[in-house]
Amino acid sequence: MEMYTRIKNYWEGEASRYSEGIWKEMNSFKKQAWAELIEHYRPRGNPLKVLDIGTGPGFFAMLAAEMGHIVTATDCTQNMLLEAQNNIRQIGLQAEFLLMDSHELSFADNSFDLILCRNLTWTLYNPLAAYKEWQRVLKRRGRLLIFDANWNLRLNDPERQAQYLADMAEAERRGIHRRGHVDPEEGDRIAKDLFLSTRLRPHWDAGALIDLGFKEVFINTDITNRTWDEEDKILYKSTPMFLVGGEK
């Protein structure tokens, strides 16, 4: 569990900065873009019981609550949950926020209609075990929607690292500044050794979901035109955001 502790400690220090970031999203076109994407892929029915895993400062929890669903959100860091609770109060809505390891959920089988997560799965120390656990708590015909990118494949791939450095140089030339991390060196040390930092995604994820028995699996290898602004597209050109999901 040493890796889990390192990941948890690292993200505790990122909470307030990420909270600022989601308010920028809430006050831009991105809010509607993400809501439309979720609406397109979610199972039918209203309201749904939604689980937002790795909620961070609560962006998806806020969206799902605004869409009229019953929302539970988890994170492994207390500071993120405190930010999320404060953020959802500011829009006058409610969700249940729980401190929890995303690999070991405390919910009963068949509890949720929809599971959401964004920019979480790359941090998993055992993604196959986590996906099996998420499948367990989904209801029959429930859906899992994963949004992520190959953020750290570059740490184990010199060609991708060169592409990343070229992206950063182009952004700097245009006066665009990447949101920095509190301790980027520690972040890279952790990420380099994580399972998904050596797998090409979403291809690996789709195969894992098929092997676990999801009856329908769907992928979109690049959703950036729908969800990113022009600065994002320059900063992260070589790491487009994808969607991968499945229906139980």
Within a 13 Å sphere around the CA of 174, how many CA atoms are in the beta-carbon half? 15
How far, in Å, are 3, 64, 94, 101, 228 from residue 67 at the CA level?
A: 36, 5, 12, 26, 21
What is the Cα–Cα distance from 112 to 122, expressed in whole angstroms? Answer: 23
Beta bridge partners of 73: 52, 97
Distance separating alpha carbons of residues 120 and 166, to the nearest angstrom? 25
The average pLDDT across 34-49 equals: 97
Q: What is the pLDDT of residue 182?
A: 64
Q: Is the pLDDT of residue 184 over 90?
A: no
* Topology of the domain covering 1-151+200-232+239-247: Rossmann fold (3.40.50)
State the pLDDT confidence band at 185, using cuts at 50, 70 and 90: confident
Q: H or E stretch including 162? A: helix 158-173
* Residue 9: HSE in the Cβ half-sphere, 13 Å Cα cutoff: 9
Report the side by side order of strands in the sheet with 138-148.
96-99, 70-75, 49-53, 112-118, 138-148, 242-247, 216-220
CB 80 within 8 A of CB 22: no
How do the domains of the chain map onto residue ranges? 1-151+200-232+239-247
pLDDT above 70: percentage of residues in the chain: 98
Q: How far are the Cα atoms of 4, 21, 27 from residue 83, in angstroms, in the given order?
A: 21, 12, 17
Global confidence as pTM: 0.95
Judged against a pLDDT cut of 60, whether residue 173 lies above it is answered with: yes
